[in-house]
């Protein structure tokens, strides 16, 4: 008995130490993501405010999620998911700036919010011990996917369905490590494909098949971003300057100054260091989920939703919307929070 208790205490202490490491790494990564745009903008008439706002949004969402998830591990997930779904429905009416049409504009943000909302309700389904509520929440997740189709968001419908299927599959996994690795590989493959399209490095047939649904304007924006990145590999052209230097962006009827790809925007505006910071931030979120005290299905479901966001952001401008950044941080915080029972945390 004494030996078992000592081993359990040692395991809990080791888990706490690993979580502390994860939190420290997160602070360092987010701090670097905030400092580097200022360095990249120095002397280049850059505008780092948008990047700083996005970093602040992720940090605030993550902190709020950690606190709310500790006190209300199921209810907070449900409330956050419903709020995300409501914002997705209202996005075309409340988002500032020109009302762009598909495939640019708000389509990426709507799809991202739908994926995060589905991830939230599926995490809540795994977190609740009530079978009826679990079934109702999964039904709601399926309903969000159907709502995406009804809203005309094919990407949102597909992303929500993928998150729902990954969540169901997560229940059969005993270890979360392989699942986290698979999610990271998925994000890497999609990002690599986007980069290959921008570099015109794909076979002609495959390139044509991809450029059709993506649109020639989006592909030209990507190629402009890659061209600017090659000219300014180290620090980039400066945050917020893509619209000034891209011919494709200035030729658009309603230009928004974005290349509609988060990694390519980082490469063009903040150079190689900016890309590495973006990759590191995503890897940190997956690492935090890997070390999360929540159950494996909750951690993997949240990881699937964040990976869906990464895929959407690789081929769109979803991360240009503060609501999406807050939602991503909130879901990650909720899925890594340690629930409290009667004032005592449990694993």
Residue 120 has pLDDT above 90, yes or no: yes
What's the confidence (pLDDT) of residue 2? 46
Distances (CA, A) of 19 to 41, 137, 156, 297: 34, 29, 32, 18
Considering only residues 61 and 233, tell me which one the structure prediction assigns the higher pLDDT: 61
pLDDT tens digits along 276-310: 999 999 999 999 999 999 999 999 999 999 999 99
Domain ranges of the chain: 2-94+101-341
User: Could you identify the residue written with the tokens 């340690």?
Assistant: 338
Considering only residues 83 and 249, tell me which one the structure prediction assigns the higher pLDDT: 83
pLDDT tens digits along 10-28: 445 555 656 678 889 999 9
Distances (CA, A) of 84 to 44, 119, 336: 36, 10, 19
Residue 346 has pLDDT above 80, yes or no: no
**Three-state DSSP class for residue 341:** strand
Band of residue 4 on the pLDDT scale cut at 50, 70, 90: very low
**Do residues 111 and 153 lie in contact, with contact meaning Cβ atoms separated by under 8 Å?**
yes
pLDDT tens digits along 49-93: 999 999 999 999 999 999 999 999 999 999 999 999 999 998 765
pLDDT tens digits along 134-193: 999 999 999 999 999 999 889 999 999 999 999 999 999 989 999 999 999 999 999 999
Q: Which residues pair with 340 in a beta bridge?
A: 345
- For residues 21-39, average pLDDT: 93
What's the confidence (pLDDT) of residue 16? 61
Tell me the average pLDDT of the chain: 87
If you write DSSP's letter for every residue of 148-184 in order, what string do you get?
A: HHHTT-HHHHHHHHHHHHHHHHHTT-S-SHHHHHHHH
Closest of 294, 299, 285 to residue 176, by C-alpha: 299
Band of residue 250 on the pLDDT scale cut at 50, 70, 90: low
Q: How far apart are CA 336 and CA 332, in angstroms?
A: 6
């Amino acid at each position: 008995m004494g030996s078992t208790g000592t081993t359990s205490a040692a395991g809990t202490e080791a888990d706490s130490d690993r979580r502390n490491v994860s939190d420290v790494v997160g602070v360092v990564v987010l701090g670097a993501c905030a400092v580097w745009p200022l360095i990249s903008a120095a002397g280049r008439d850059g505008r780092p405010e948008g990047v700083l706002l996005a970093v602040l949004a992720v940090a605030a969402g993550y902190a709020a999620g950690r606190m709310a998830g500790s006190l209300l591990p199921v209810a907070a997930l449900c409330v956050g998911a419903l709020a995300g779904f409501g914002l997705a429905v209202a996005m075309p009416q409340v988002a500032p700036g020109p009302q762009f049409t598909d495939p640019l504009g708000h389509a990426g943000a709507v799809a991202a919010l739908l994926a995060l909302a589905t991830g939230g309700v599926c995490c809540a389904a795994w977190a609740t011990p009530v079978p009826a509520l679990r079934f109702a929440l999964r039904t709601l997740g399926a309903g969000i996917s159907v709502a995406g189709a009804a809203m005309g968001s094919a990407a949102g419908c597909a992303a929500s369905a993928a998150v729902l299927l990954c969540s169901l599959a997560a229940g059969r996994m005993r270890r979360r490590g392989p699942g986290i690795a698979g999610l990271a590989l998925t994000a890497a493959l999609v990002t690599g494909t986007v980069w290959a399209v921008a570099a015109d490095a794909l076979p002609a047939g495959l390139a044509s098949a991809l450029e059709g649904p993506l649109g020639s304007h989006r592909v030209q924006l990507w190629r402009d971003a890659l061209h600017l990145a090659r000219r300014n590999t180290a620090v980039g052209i400066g945050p917020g300057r893509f619209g000034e230097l891209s011919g494709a962006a200035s030729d658009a009827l309603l230009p928004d100054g974005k290349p509609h790809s988060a990694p390519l925007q980082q490469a063009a505006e903040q150079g190689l260091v900016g890309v590495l910071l973006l990759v590191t931030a995503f890897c940190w979120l997956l690492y935090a989920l890997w070390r999360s005290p929540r159950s494996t299905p909750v951690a993997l479901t949240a990881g699937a939703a964040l990976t869906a966001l990464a895929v959407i952001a690789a081929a769109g401008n979803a991360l240009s919307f503060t609501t999406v950044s807050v939602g991503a941080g909130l879901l990650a915080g909720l899925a890594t929070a340690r629930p409290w029972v009667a004032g005592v945390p449990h694993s």
